[in-house]
Chain A
């Protein structure tokens, strides 16, 4: 079945550091890929998505590129801020199926 493997956390970085959170997936079809973010005490929010190979999703300075050849969708940001501290979830939905399959989440803490 479908699955998502995420970089183990927690991750702690200094403000303005470069961020990468790794995500790889297994799917039988042609999935859409997502990054969701969960700020403390809040629900999940869609951060970005990509629906086909080589697409790049971007939002709030975050980017991720859909790499079919490596089955990856790594999240990157060039300069993180304290306000980026949250839990980040990689997810997929397979073509024709709206069900989301999530990774285990990566807790990110940015220190000033």
Chain B
């Protein structure tokens, strides 16, 4: 069974630029999550989707971050404009509803 796919694996941008990350969850998983993992900290949930609807986006900085999950499968997370403090690993996870979350390899973002 294929795992959660993410791209790109690494991205370096300058502050005030925009960036987008892509996630393809495990086939059949209705729930998709985006987490932000700052160096030395545990992952923090940014947004949770159930199919293509948002369940929880309370920790998403909506002035600069946006996410969508069209057709309830793939998802993109966008940052515009990026700040230095957005440097982190962005993790995507998916699950069957109410079950174990499976994580992708992450995208490491460096903002200069």
B91 proximal to A (CB < 8 A): yes
Query: How many residues of chain A have a CB within 8 Å of chain B?
Result: 19
Instruction: Please choose the segment from B14-22, B39-47, B71-79 that sits at the chain A interface, where 4 or more of its residues have CB less than 8 A away.
Output: B39-47
A4 proximal to B (CB < 8 A): yes
**Interface flags, B79-112, vs A, CB<8A=1, else 0:** 0000000000001010101101111111000000
Query: Known contacts being A98-B31, A98-B98, A99-B56, is A43 close to B91, with CB within 8 Å?
Result: yes
B48 proximal to A (CB < 8 A): yes
Query: Known contacts being A42-B105, A43-B103, A43-B104, is A91 close to B42, with CB within 8 Å?
Result: yes
Chain B interface bracket (under 10, 10 to 19, 20 to 34, 35 or more): 20 to 34
Query: Known contacts being A44-B91, A99-B45, is A104 close to B40, with CB within 8 Å?
Result: yes
A105 proximal to B (CB < 8 A): yes
Residue among B93, B100, B104, B106 making CB contact with A49, cutoff 8 Å:
B100
B4 proximal to A (CB < 8 A): yes
A105 (CB) vs chain B CBs: closest residue: B42
The complex places the Cα of A36 from the Cα of B103 at a distance, in Å, of 10
A31 proximal to B (CB < 8 A): no
A96 (CB) vs chain B CBs: closest residue: B98
Q: How far is the CB of B1 from chain A (nearest CB, A)?
A: 14
Q: How far is the CB of B96 from chain A (nearest CB, A)?
A: 10
Contacts of B40 in A (CB 8 A): 104-105
A interface, CB within 8 angstroms of B:
4, 36, 41-46, 49, 89, 91, 98-105
Leading 10 A-B pairs by shortest Cβ distance? A102-B42, A44-B103, A43-B103, A43-B105, A104-B42, A102-B43, A99-B45, A43-B104, A103-B42, A46-B100
